[in-house]
Structure 1
Amino acid sequence: MELSTLTTEQRNSNSMNLDQKDTYDILKTIHQEDANVHQAIEKVLPTIEDVVEAVYQRLLRGGRLIYVGAGTSGRLGYLDSSECQPTFMTPPEMVQTIMAGGVDAFFQASEGSEDQESQGREDIAVKEIGPSDVVIGITSSGRTPYPIGAVKLAKEQGAFTVALTCNEHSEIGQITDRAIEVVVGPEVLTGSTRMKAATAHKMILNMISTTTMVKLGKVYENLMVDVQANNVKLRDRAKRIIMDIAKVTYEVAEQTLAKTNNHVKPAIVMLKGDVDYETANQALNECDGYVRDAIQYVKDN
C-alpha cells in the first residue's frame, strides 16, 4: 500500500492553518483531535477483548507477551512492558519488548532500522517463539517491515499474533490472527503519528496488560496487590493497600508486611484470615495466587 494513501498520512482539514494560529488555538486544536481517540478505541473493544483472552490463556500456560515495534511504536512497547514487573511482580520474561535498533534506539532515533523485515525475523527468532506466546506487532502505518517480519516468523512458529495499527485493511493486519485497527484519523501535524496514533496505542497496550493482570489475580478490588515494594514509595503504597483491605492501622500493616518480605498478598490473607505466614502462603498456592479465593480458603479450613 502506498504511504500517501494511508489515513495516518492524510492532511487534517482542522489544522490546515496550524502555523497561523496563536498558542491557545494550537493547543485547542490538538486537544479536540485527541478527543477522537476515545471513540476510535471504543469501536475496536471487541477485538481488544479477543486479544486479552488470548494473552490470558497463554500466560496461564507459562507463555509470554512480546511487543515488537520500531521508533515510537517500540518505545510504547517498552513503556508498557517495563512497568509490568514493578506493578504486578511479573517475571521479566513474561511481558517484554523487541525494538528495531535495540534498546539504544529508545533514546536515540534509529529510523533506518525499521526498514529491514529480515531483521525483525532475526530478532524474534532469538526468543524461540512457540504456541504459548503472543506477539503484538505495533505499527501506526501497518506497513513497517520490521514488525511485519517479526510477526510472520512468530506465526510460523505457532504463536498467536496481533497487529496494532491505525489504518484499516493494513498490510500487517492481513497476516496476523487478530488486527486491532484503531482509526484515529489524520494527525494535527501531518504524518506525526507520535500524536493521536501513539496515544491510542499506549491506551490499548495499557488496557491489554492491565486487564490480563486483573484476570491473573494480581489485583484485589482495584488495588495492585502484587506490587513490588522495593522502594520507599512502593513500600508505603503496599502498607496502605493492606490497611485499606484489612482495616488495620499503619503500624499493623507495617509489621505484617515485614513478616512477608514485603509481599502484599500473604499479608492480606494473614490479616483477613487470621492465620500465620506459612498458612497464608499455602492458601495462595492452593488458589493460584487469587487473594479473594485464598481468604475464603483459610476461612473454610
Structure 2
Amino acid sequence: MTMVFNYGREIREMASGTEVFDMRFAGLDQWSDADFLTALWEGQIRAVAAVGPMIEPLAHAAADIADRLLGGGRLVYAGAGTSGTVAWQDAKELGGTFGWPEDKTIVLLAGGVDSAPGVFNSAEDDRDAAQNEISRHNIGPKDAVIAVAASGSTPFTLSAVQAANNAGALTIGICNNADGALLTHAHHGIFLDSAPEVVAGSTRMGAGTAQKAALNMLSTLVMNKLGRLFDNLMVGMRAENIKLQGRAVRIVCHIAGCDGDGAQAALEQSGFDIRCAVLMVRGQTLRKAKEILASVNGNLRAALEYKG
C-alpha cells in the first residue's frame, strides 16, 4: 500500500495544472443533472475570466504580430489535439471575416488538418514533424507563429516554437499551465489560468474555452491594426452569400452615407469589395479606389483621408 501511495503522490506532483484531480468534483458521475451542468457552466465562466488578466500581454503580442504582417509576413498557428483544433478554427475564420488572404495563413496541426479522429493523440509527441513543417513552409523573420498547448509542454508545439525561434520568426505561446515551458520558450507568453478542469484532464472544456476567447481577442485586434475594421464594422469581410451581401450593403450605407441602391450598385461594380465600394460612392473610380487602398495597406479610414 505504501508503494502505491508514494507512486500516486509522485504522479500528482508531476501533473500539470490541467491534469490535477480537483476533489471538489468527487462523485461528479453521481450528481444530479442540474448540479452536473452547473459545475460545467461555472467551469466555462472561470475559463473566460482567465483571459482578463492577460489583456496587456495580448495587446503587446498583437502589436508585434501586426508589425510582422504589415512587413509582408504570414500568420502561423501551431498546436496539437484540442488546442490545435481551436487554433485551426481561429485561422479558418480570418479569411471570411476580415478578408485576410489564405496564402498568408498557415496551420501546423499535429497529424495534419485532415487527420482522422484519434490520430492527434500520438501525433502530438512528434517533434521532428513540427521542425519539418517549419522548414517546409520556409517560416522566417517576417512571420508570426501563435502556438497553443493547454499543458504548455506538448512536444510537437514546443518543437515548432523552437524551430520558429531559430528561423527568426516572432513566437507567441498560449497555455493553461503556469509552469508550461511554452511561456518561456515563446517571445510572448500568455498564461490562461483556467485549470483545473471539472472533468480532470479534459482540456476541450475549460482550457479550450479560454484559448478560444484569447485567440478571438488576439486575432481580432491584429486585424484591426491591419485596417480590417472601420468603427466596429467588418469592412474586409467577404460577402459570399445573401446574408453577408445584405450586411455589406448596410455597411457601405453607414460609412458612405448613401442609400441602399447606391451601395448595391457600387458593391456590384467592385465585386462586393466593401472598401472599394465606399470609396466609389465617395466619387472614386474602381481603379483609383484600388490604388488608394493599396497605398495604405487596405486601411479604409486612411483611404478616406487620402489627399494624393
C-alpha deviations, 1:55-104, integer Å up to 9, x for none? 10000111111111111111111101111111111111222211011122
1:284 is aligned to 2:305:
no
CA distance in 2, matches of 1:44, 1:296: 34
The letter of the residue matching 2:265 is: Q
1:145 is aligned to 2:155:
yes
CA distance in 1, matches of 2:302, 2:173: 35
Report the CA distance between 1:54 and its aligned residue: 1.2
The letter of the residue matching 2:140 is: G
Change (3 A) 1:116 1:288: closer
CA distance in 2, matches of 1:25, 1:242: 48
Name 2:87's counterpart in structure 1: 77
CA distance in 2, matches of 1:81, 1:154: 18
8 Å CA contact 2:48, 2:213 repeated in 1: no
> Which of 242, 255, 267 does residue 245 from structure 1 map onto?
255
Change (3 A) 1:286 1:125: closer
CA distance in 1, matches of 2:67, 2:191: 22
1:294 is aligned to 2:303:
yes
- Percent identity among equivalent residues? 33
Name 1:181's counterpart in structure 2: 191
CA distance in 2, matches of 1:45, 1:22: 37
CA distance in 1, matches of 2:275, 2:299: 9
Structure 2 unpaired stretches of 5+: 1-9
Report the CA distance between 1:120 and its aligned residue: 1.3
The letter of the residue matching 1:126 is: R
Name 2:56's counterpart in structure 1: 46
C-alpha deviations, 1:237-286, integer Å up to 9, x for none? 21121122223332221111011111100111222x33332333333233
8 Å CA contact 1:68, 1:135 repeated in 2: yes
Name 2:179's counterpart in structure 1: 169
Specify the SS of the correspondent of 1:135.
strand
Report the CA distance between 1:160 and its aligned residue: 1.2
CA distance in 2, matches of 1:2, 1:182: 23
The letter of the residue matching 1:288 is: N
CA distance in 1, matches of 2:239, 2:11: 49
> Which of 215, 219, 226 does residue 205 from structure 1 map onto?
215
Change (3 A) 1:248 1:62: same
CA distance in 2, matches of 1:57, 1:184: 30
Specify the SS of the correspondent of 2:220.
helix
C-alpha deviations, 1:128-147, integer Å up to 9, x for none? 11111111221101111111
8 Å CA contact 1:142, 1:172 repeated in 2: yes
CA distance in 2, matches of 1:149, 1:138: 12
Specify the SS of the correspondent of 1:115.
coil
CA distance in 2, matches of 1:280, 1:129: 33
CA distance in 1, matches of 2:103, 2:294: 21
> Which of 136, 156, 160 does residue 126 from structure 1 map onto?
136
Report the CA distance between 1:2 and its aligned residue: 6.7
C-alpha deviations, 1:12-49, integer Å up to 9, x for none? 24322211211111111111122112332111222211
Name 1:195's counterpart in structure 2: 205
Name 1:262's counterpart in structure 2: 272
Report the CA distance between 1:217 and its aligned residue: 0.5
Q: Which moved more, 1:25-34 or 1:196-205?
A: 25-34
Change (3 A) 1:141 1:254: same
> Which of 100, 104, 127 does residue 94 from structure 1 map onto?
104
The letter of the residue matching 1:226 is: G
> Which of 238, 244, 258 does residue 228 from structure 1 map onto?
238
Structure 1 unpaired stretches of 5+: none
